[in-house]
Each structure stands twice: as C-alpha cells, then as structure tokens.
Amino acid sequence: MQAWIHAHQQALTLVLKKLRSAPFAHLVMAAVIGAALSLPAGLYMVLANLGNAAADIETDPQITLFMTLGANDAATKEIDNRLHKHSGIREYRFVSRETAWHDLQERNGVQGALNGLEKNPLPDAFIVHVSSSDPATADALQKEFSAWPQVEHVQLDAAWVKRLYTLLKLGEKAVMILAVLLGFALIAIIGNTIRLQILTQREEIEVSKLIGATDRFIRRPFLYAGALQGVLGGVTAWLILFVALYIFNQSVEELAQLYASDFRLHPLGLQASLILIVSAALLGWLGSYWSVSRYLSKL
C-alpha cells in the first residue's frame, strides 16, 4: 500500500517538475484544449439558459373540448364533473353554444357571413388550462379527453411550446454529437503531445523495460501528465465561457432593460462545471493511455 502511494507520488512529482520546466508549452496546450472544449460546453450553456427561459414563460397549454352537436345537458354535466375532479387541470371554463354563437355574432365583420345561417352551428365547449407546461402532459390529456363520451373534437393549442421543446431536444443531441467528436479530437491531440514527451524519454523507457519495469510503471507518469493537461484545458474552457458570458451579459442587460425583463445568461452550474473538468481529465488520461500503449506495443 505504502509502495503504491509512493509510486503515484513519485509519478506526480515527475509530472509537476515537467510542468514547471515547460510552462509555456503547457499553457499553449491548455488554450487549444480549452478552446475545443468551450464549443460544446458553451452550446450546452446556451441551451440550458433557453430551457430555463422556456420554463419561465407562461406557456400554459390550452386545450379546447368540443362536444358533439347533439350532446344533451346530462352529457355536458358529466364532462364538467370529470374535469372538476381531474388533477392535471389548473382551471377550466364552460362556453355554451349559445354564448359562443352570441360572441360570434357580436364580432364585427362576420355579420354578413353569418346572416345566411338561421341555426346555431356551434357546439358546447370547455376551455381547459393544464397545470403543467410540459407538452407531453398536454398531449396525454388531449388523448384522454378525446375518448370521453359525447366529445367530438379536442384541440391542443400548444404547438409552439412543443416546437420549442423539440428544438431544445435537438440542440441537446447536437451538443452530444459535438462533444463526442471533439472528445475524439482531444484524445488524439493530447495523445500526440504525450507521444512527443515519450520520444524525449525514449532511453529512460527502454532502460526501465530492460531492467524489469512493468508497462504500468512506465505508463503511470504519462497518464498523470495527460490528465493534468486535460484538467488545465478544462479549466481554460471554463474561463473562456465565463469571460464570454460576462461580455455577452452586458449587451443582454441593455436589451433586457428596454423590455423591462431581468433575463440574464447564467454560467455553468457546479455540476456541469465539474463534469466539464472531469471529462477533460478523462480525455487526457485516455489520450495518453492510447499513446503510451501504442509505443510500448512497438517495443
């Protein structure tokens, strides 16, 4: 156990010594990795903000139930009962066919068109406000209501919310794809810088192998170096986003004031920041594992 701790300590010391001896090279690498990582992380940040904004907006999907024309009072009463007891509904309102007909006749411009009709063609209707803004819930309710007796047609009035959510989902997928692609690129980039380090330490590796070093012993300091490189890159990405956000928010603030809104872009949360840095470290680790293993297998 103690030997194990010491081995890691030794490897870490070696890596830190290297960092101190070539700070500029590490800084450049951190900038490259940071810039690459800031793309998916930044996109994620924008999406997260949009998602929050969408949730804030009174989306309030509205559903209209149209009864059949022949529906009698009992049937209407039954629906009223059911709506009353339903938990997924915030409020609802009954619009009788008479009221609707009256409203329509009041409206300017339609007068002429309606003159030809002597009978009221409108059905009774319920206007329902759903308590959740999640479009999936509204969809489910629409299906449920459609199956109720004497209900002719159920109209969901939340298409744009649905579209927004679909777009956000699409955006999340884009972030994933971008992150995976850039992840591969970063593994290759970090792997390559580690390869250069390996080449400068060729003799040490060769001699160590000849006198009985395991692959694990040889790999260890490089893995640390790769992970450290990744962490530095991850932190750089975070800083890039932070600064970009600061600049962006200054303009957003002016705009928001014009619209009397307090909308702001928020930085990455603690969890997202941790994920960013940990995955950067992991990519560095993988890149260097790949690089050292490739070198060792050729020995």
For residue 53, the minimal CB distance to other proteins (Å) is 56
CA distance 54 to 164: 8
The number of C-alpha atoms within 13 Å of 119 and in the hemisphere containing its C-beta is 3
Q: Which of 291, 229, 287 is nearest to 27 (CA)?
A: 229
Q: How many residues are listed for the chain in this entry?
A: 299
For residue 196, the minimal CB distance to other proteins (Å) is 16
CA distance 203 to 77: 90
For residue 11, the minimal CB distance to other proteins (Å) is 10
Site of interaction with other proteins (CB under 8 A): 3-4, 6-7, 10, 203-204, 206-215, 217
Q: How crowded is residue 20: how many other Cβ atoms within 10 Å of its Cβ?
A: 9
- For residue 5 the two structure tokens come to 């701790």
CA distance 238 to 122: 59
What is the widest separation between alpha-carbon atoms in the chain? 105
Minimum CB distance to other proteins smaller for 17 or for 266: 17
For residue 198, the minimal CB distance to other proteins (Å) is 14
Minimum CB distance to other proteins smaller for 2 or for 115: 2
For residue 6, the minimal CB distance to other proteins (Å) is 4
Minimum CB distance to other proteins smaller for 1 or for 113: 1
Q: What amino acid occupies position 214?
A: T
Minimum CB distance to other proteins smaller for 176 or for 207: 207
Minimum CB distance to other proteins smaller for 6 or for 77: 6
